[in-house]
């Protein structure tokens, strides 16, 4: 199984495209779009996430995906696991009663929210997104789960930018990343 896992990781890594100086000079943007347009690479991502969940989180109730790229991987994983999916959206995008938190961005503040009845107290959830940089968005999602009295079992991302130390902001939650730069 280890050889199969390694081959899948290599396939995923080959499908991450680097764009230097985007969105501004000095930043290397890691583009996951090639993963999405290649069925084998996309399947490899979901296979690897599923393997991680089945090996480490036997009792999970919901996958919680972050706006917007967590929406690409979260529902596929939730379907494989036979559980539900909950979106965390930017403020003002969800109908009905919502719960929100504000968080810091590099150049200001933002707000994230979920529908008030999306997660019940005591439910066990895993957070998913495409990339972990500074950890602000995943931290906001974990705060939403805390407000809802849900238990965050961990965070999962396709790519982790290690030098930005996003995992520090997410402690005590563990982060599982497929690829690290």
State residue 173's pLDDT score. 97
State residue 71's pLDDT score. 98
Would you tell me how many other CB atoms lie within 10 Å of the CB of residue 52? Answer: 17
**Closest Cα to residue 122, out of 32, 61, 48?**
61
| Structural domain count, the chain | 1
Residue 162 clears pLDDT 70, i.e. is over it: yes
Question: What six digits make up the tokens of 15?
Answer: 């499908």
Alpha carbon of 75 to those of 17, 82, 146, 175: distances in Å? 23, 10, 22, 19
- The rounded distance, in Å, linking the Cα atoms of 177 and 82 is 22
Exposed / middle / buried, residue 51 (Cβ in 10 Å: 0-12, 13-18, 19+): middle
Candidate from 24-38, 76-90, 104-118, 141-155 with smallest mean pLDDT: 104-118
Express as a percent the part of the chain with pLDDT over 90: 95
State residue 179's pLDDT score. 98
What's the CATH code of the domain at 25?
3.40.50.2020
13: left (phi over 0), alpha (psi -120 to 50) or beta: alpha
Domain that holds residue 145: 2-180
Residue 90 clears pLDDT 80, i.e. is over it: yes
Query: What is the residue whose two structure tokens read 């896992």?
Result: 5
Tell me the mean pLDDT in the region 9-21: 98
Q: To 5 degrees, how large is the angle CA 71–CA 76–CA 78? A: 95
Q: Mind listing the pLDDT tens digit for each residue in 34-62?
A: 999 999 999 999 999 999 999 999 999 99
State residue 1's pLDDT score. 59
**Closest Cα to residue 142, out of 156, 157, 152?**
152
Residue 108 clears pLDDT 90, i.e. is over it: no
Catalytic (active-site) positions: 69, 106
Residue 104: pLDDT band with limits 50, 70, 90? confident
């Amino acid at each position: 199984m280890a050889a199969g896992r390694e081959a899948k990781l290599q396939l995923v890594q080959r499908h991450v495209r680097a764009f230097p100086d985007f969105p501004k000079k000095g930043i290397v943007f890691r583009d996951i779009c090639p993963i999405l347009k290649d069925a084998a690479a996309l399947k490899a991502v979901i296979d690897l996430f599923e393997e991680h969940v089945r090996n480490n989180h036997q009792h999970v109730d919901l996958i919680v995906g972050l706006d917007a790229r967590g929406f690409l991987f979260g529902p596929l994983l939730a379907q494989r696991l036979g559980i539900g999916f909950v979106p965390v959206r930017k403020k003002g995008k969800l109908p009905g009663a919502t719960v929100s938190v504000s968080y810091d961005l590099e150049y200001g503040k933002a707000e994230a929210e979920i529908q008030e009845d999306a997660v019940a107290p005591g439910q066990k959830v895993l957070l998913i997104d495409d990339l972990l940089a500074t950890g602000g968005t995943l931290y906001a999602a974990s705060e939403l789960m805390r407000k809802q009295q849900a238990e965050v079992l961990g965070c999962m991302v396709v790519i982790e930018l290690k030098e930005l130390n996003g995992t520090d902001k997410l402690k005590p939650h563990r982060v599982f990343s497929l690829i690290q730069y």
